[in-house]
Amino acid sequence: MDFSFTQEQEMLRETLRTMGKRENFKEMAAKTDETGIFPRHLIKKYADMGLLGMTLSAEYGGGGRPAIDAILAIEELAKFSPMIAAPVFESNVGPVRVIDMFGSEAQKRSIIPGVCSGEMSVSVCMTEPEAGSDLTSLTTRAVERGDHYILNGRKAFITGADEASHYMVYTRFGDISGYKGIGGLLVEKGMPGFSFGKQERYMGLRGMPSCDLIFEDVKVPRENVIVKPGDFRNLMMTFDIERCGNSAMCLGVAGGALDEAVAYAQQRNTFGRPISEFQAIQFQVVEMTVKLEAARLLVYRAATGAGRGLPSIYEAAMAKCFANQMVTEVTDDAMQVFGGYGYSTEFPLERMARDGRAWRVAGGTANMLKVTLASFIFGRRFDQRKGK
Ligand SMILES: Cc1cc2nc3c(=O)[nH]c(=O)nc-3n(C[C@H](O)[C@H](O)[C@H](O)COP(=O)(O)OP(=O)(O)OC[C@H]3O[C@@H](n4cnc5c(N)ncnc54)[C@H](O)[C@@H]3O)c2cc1C
């Protein structure tokens, strides 16, 4: 296995690192957390830099680059804050990839250029108040009426909230039960009958728009079907690239916390010496580094394997499981290195710990990924509904 980066990839990382320092992204991250206001000017900036849609098809205005490039960019920016990485995440590993991979020519032409220029964004809308892990029990329903569908239902925890332009809604078509009835329908903001619930108040990721979506007799044209019922597998397989993005967020947050801990340990003196001279602190920092590097290998393996397509389900699930756990441990340990200052909101560590905790739930919980991994290890599916 070759884990060396190309010159272009090294340049991308260096550019983002330098930009973050020059433009004081650390301060922007703290301000975003404090005010809960997303730094929207980043969207235009990233579009001008070619970071939005860098993995989408070149013939529709995307960058045509492999998934790993976006993963590296997300990781680098998430060292400052996942909010600062969010537009790169959404436009490269979000549901726009479903359109890029499975959409019609017309769908690609109408959405991908807008996503790359930052004028459009697509939210993924799977979760419902009564169906999260148990996704195939979802009750949002699209009923055929001539040349369109009538959509009814409610989605919960939708990132992008009322700030996205388009919504990839996982819906049941008609009365087909189970996963076979689920497909993906693209809903546009402003369609009559489509409204939003109140903004979620999360522990972390402050500044991230998130709320319920409410569909009441929304008339959606037939041509907005991106994935038809029966092709649910295509929806879920594409979601595995989002899971690599989720894992890259974990690498970034943990990497940012580790950098802070290493710097602080060399400045903070106790007993007349920097705390970095105590072996207990050194070992703690070493353990954090080992965990982060191990997670990197899993995430890079999954993303590199995806090439310009999709990662292996097994590799993406394993990377996410490990990275989700790793980030909670590394940010917690980094807080400890900071002593009392780690717990203070004057320093970034407590924010990083709050931000890092989100990923173990977002994108599917660690338990559900373990259910997937168990099926690979034992060579058979485990029906979660058994015993009913
Ligand atoms: C920050 C954030 C962003 C999000 N963004 C989006 C988004 O943009 N779009 C979207 O659609 N959703 C989004 N979500 C929702 C997220 O995908 C769901 O919260 C998640 O899938 C879990 O669903 P749930 O909350 O209903 O928990 P539940 O499904 O009720 O699970 C509760 C607990 O039970 C465990 N559990 C359930 N079933 C089993 C089982 N069979 N075996 C073992 N354990 C089990 C789970 O692991 C979990 O620990 C987001 C969530 C968060 C926190």
- Answer whether 153's CB lies under 8 Å from 171's CB: yes
Bridge partners (DSSP) of residue 166 are 122, 188
Instruction: Take residue 240 and report the two structure tokens written for it.
Output: 């595995």
Q: Whose CA is nearest to atom 38 of ligand 1?
A: 133
Asked whether 294 and 327 are in contact (CB, 8 A), the reply is no
H-run or E-run covering 29: helix 25-35
Tens digit of each residue's pLDDT (9 = 90 or more) over 306-334: 999 999 999 999 999 999 999 999 999 99
Query: What does the alpha-carbon distance between residue 312 and residue 300 come to, in Å, rounded to a whole number?
Result: 12
Q: Which atom of ligand 1 is nearest to the CA of 371?
A: 42
Domain assignment of residue 384, yes or no: no
User: Which of 98, 117, 136 is a domain's end point?
Assistant: 117
pLDDT (mean) for 262-287: 98
Nearest CA to ligand 1 atom 45: 367
β-bridge partners, 211: 158
Centroid of ligand 1 to alpha carbon of 355 (angstroms): 16
Tokens of 67: 């998934």
Residues 220, 242, single domain; the answer is: no
* 107 and 142 belong to one structural domain: no
Give me ligand 1 centre to Cα 132, in Å: 5
Count Cβ neighbours within 10 Å for each residue of 4-23 and write b for 16 or more, e otherwise.
eeeeebeebeeebeeebeee
As for ligand 1, residues whose beta carbon falls within 6 Å of it are 123-127, 132-134, 157-159, 202, 205, 358, 361-362, 364-365, 367-368, 371, 384
The residues pairing with 219 across neighbouring beta strands, listed in sequence order, are 150
Residue 388 pLDDT > 80: no
Gap from CA of 361 to ligand 1 centroid (Å): 5
* Mutation pick for ligand 1 pocket among 90, 124, 133 (CB with most ligand atoms within 8 Å): 133
In this structure, which residue's CA is closest to atom 22 in ligand 1? 132
Whether 108 and 175 share a structural domain: no
User: DSSP class of residue 292?
Assistant: H
Pick the atom of ligand 1 nearest to 159's CA: 8
pLDDT, mean of residues 205-230: 97
Question: pLDDT tens, 48-85?
Answer: 999 999 999 999 999 999 999 999 999 999 999 999 99
Structural domain boundaries enclosing 226: 122-230
Q: What are phi and psi of 330, to 5 degrees?
A: -70, -40
For residues 96 and 127, membership in a common domain is answered with no
Find tokens 């989605």 and name the residue: 155
β-pairing verdict for 141-145 and 269-270: unpaired
Does residue 2 sit within a domain? no
Q: What is this structure's pTM? A: 0.97
**Would you say residue 383 lies in a domain?**
no
Q: The domain spanning residue 251 has which CATH number? A: 1.20.140.10
Give, using CA atoms, the residue closest to atom 23 of ligand 1.
Answer: 132
Return the bridge partners of 194, or none. Answer: 215
Give the total number of structural domains in the chain: 3
Q: Is residue 293 part of a domain?
A: yes
In which band, very low, low, confident or very high, does the pLDDT at 3 lie, cut at 50, 70 and 90?
confident
